[in-house]
Structure 1
């Protein structure tokens, strides 16, 4: 009952980035999903990248390999426009509903999840465009 009351209190409350549960590195997983429901990719965000995403509507991630903000599509033109931000029940994972322009994956595929495991073998589902 207390959990339900806490959830009800959040309803209509102003969203605060600080209310999220970031990991020890200050990161939170973010799953990008098209309006159609197709899962496009998973990347990491920090408070700064999330703030920029909310301010501009253009999805911005945190690049762990480069230790810098990564504006999706800045070099490829394959941008993601934020439609809706969703927070999971534990507040430690984000779901970004996006309008994807061009392929989401750096391999030039619509989704990064183009490999399935079937009967113990990997099967490529989508070839690059």
Structure 2
């Protein structure tokens, strides 16, 4: 039997994000029009708050240990149109309108290669 906090988190109406032991949760970003998966990143409370406040996707950079807004240097921001929350509130899907390529490589999506056997094939021109 689930405790009341778990029941509220899984079936209630209150937003109760469940961050991991490092204070992070996963965020999958999709194109709000096509549904294409654009990227996966991590959010901490500050990134979640900034995203909700500004409408622009913010994340926690694990390598730099700080908050960053997607596109802060490239201009390729992600305008968040909707946030979906999974059943136990430890992962989000951000539906967004990208202002240019999402991947730091210049690809539209970070998922531009297909695994074929032991080889990677580019699936985007």
Distance in 2, Cα, partners of 1:123 & 1:90: 35
SS at match of 2:104: coil
Match of 1:95 among 93, 96, 116: 93
Distance in 2, Cα, partners of 1:32 & 1:100: 10
TM-score, normalised to structure 2, is 0.87
The list of structure 1 runs, each at least 4 consecutive aligned residues, that deviate by more than 6 angstroms after superposition, is none
Distance in 2, Cα, partners of 1:70 & 1:52: 10
> What runs of 5+ residues in structure 2 fail to find an aligned partner?
none
2:24 equivalent to 1:27? yes
Residue 66 (structure 2) aligns with? 68
Match of 2:47 among 14, 33, 49: 49
1:80-126 deviations in whole A, cap 9, x for unaligned? 01100111112111100001000000000000001111244221112
SS at match of 2:49: helix
Match of 1:111 among 106, 109, 115: 109
TM-score, normalised to structure 1, is 0.84
> What runs of 5+ residues in structure 1 fail to find an aligned partner?
none
Distance in 1, Cα, partners of 2:65 & 2:117: 38
Q: Which has the higher contact order (CA 8 A, sep 6+)?
A: 2
Q: How many residues are matched?
A: 118
For the aligned residue pairs, the C-alpha RMSD in angstroms reads 1.8
SS at match of 1:50: helix
